[in-house]
């Protein structure tokens, strides 16, 4: 099964990005991502054997217990690659929390797979938090930058199965992981202290 970890977006952010996507809709060479599929990929796992699924679920739960919710920002759009013919039009996301989650997932998968992890497609590329808005499928012009100034709370992430179909990928959320930040809470309380109700 083809898997990835991702953060999905609240409705108001998806609505703002859908409005931005109207910039490329006049050009048939650009294929916009459907609004309900807009997401930020934390780590792509590629095709993995089904028997590994419990390990990826356990990794998500373990990391979510450690990391606290955070606020994310969207400032503007860009292209991959930045020079020459673009393949992807994206919205750039900002938050230290995205980096911590991506690094935590990467470290966990390296622990699970060992040297096999380097065979995952894109494993050697640096993490750049972004939301893909459209993919270029045929000749089409670049559109002018769009500025957002959006912020939203990130309270969790998900493990997603992606099935490639003729009309485009179909995403199925296999599990959601709520960020709890227990590691930071334990440090603030000091050893031996427990919150009420635990």
Q: pLDDT tens digits for 3-21?
A: 999 999 999 999 999 999 9
Calculate Rg over the CA atoms of the chain. 18
Peptide bond connecting 16 to the previous residue in cis, omega within 30 degrees of 0: no
Q: How would you label 123-144 residue by residue, b for 16+ Cβ within 10 Å and e otherwise?
A: beeebebbbbbbbbeeebeebe
Assess whether 39 carries a catalytic annotation.
yes
Query: In whole angstroms, what separates CA 130 from the centre of its chain?
Result: 7
Please give the structure tokens belonging to residue 105: 């997932």
Per DSSP, what are the bridge partners of residue 113? Answer: none
Per DSSP, what are the bridge partners of residue 5? Answer: 43, 159
Q: Rounded distance, CA 108 to CA 42, Å?
A: 13
CA distances from residue 6 to 40, 64, 148 in whole angstroms, order as listed: 5, 13, 21
pLDDT of 187 reads 55
Assess whether 36 carries a catalytic annotation.
no
- The upper half-sphere exposure of residue 79, i.e. CA atoms within 13 Å in the direction of its Cβ, equals 15
Confidence band of 195 (pLDDT split at 50, 70, 90)? very low
Confirm whether pTM is higher than 0.75. Answer: yes
> Of the listed 36, 61, 130, 183, which one is catalytic?
130
Q: Rounded distance, CA 90 to CA 78, Å?
A: 5
Task: Tell me: pLDDT of 113 over 90.
Answer: yes
3-state secondary structure of 144: coil
pLDDT of 184 reads 58
The phi and psi torsions of 86 (rounded to 5 degrees) equal -75, 145
């Amino acid at each position: 099964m083809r898997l990835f970890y991702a953060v999905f977006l609240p409705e108001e952010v998806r609505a703002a990005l859908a409005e931005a996507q109207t910039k490329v809709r006049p050009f048939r060479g650009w294929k916009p991502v459907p609004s309900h599929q807009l997401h930020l990929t934390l780590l792509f796992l590629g095709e993995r054997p089904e028997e590994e699924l419990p390990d990826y679920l356990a990794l998500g739960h373990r990391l979510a217990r450690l990391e606290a919710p955070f606020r994310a920002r969207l400032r503007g759009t860009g292209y991959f690659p930045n020079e020459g013919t673009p393949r992807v039009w994206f919205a750039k996301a900002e938050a230290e929390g995205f980096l911590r989650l991506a690094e935590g997932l990467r470290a966990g998968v390296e622990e699970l797979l060992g040297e096999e992890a380097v065979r995952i497609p894109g494993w050697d590329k640096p993490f750049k938090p972004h939301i893909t808005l459209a993919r270029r499928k045929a000749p089409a012009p670049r559109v002018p930058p769009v500025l957002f100034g959006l912020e939203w709370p990130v309270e969790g992430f998900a493990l997603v199965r992606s099935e490639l179909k003729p009309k485009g990928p179909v995403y199925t959320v296999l599990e959601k992981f709520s960020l709890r930040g227990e590691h930071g809470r334990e440090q603030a309380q000091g050893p031996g202290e427990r919150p009420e109700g635990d």
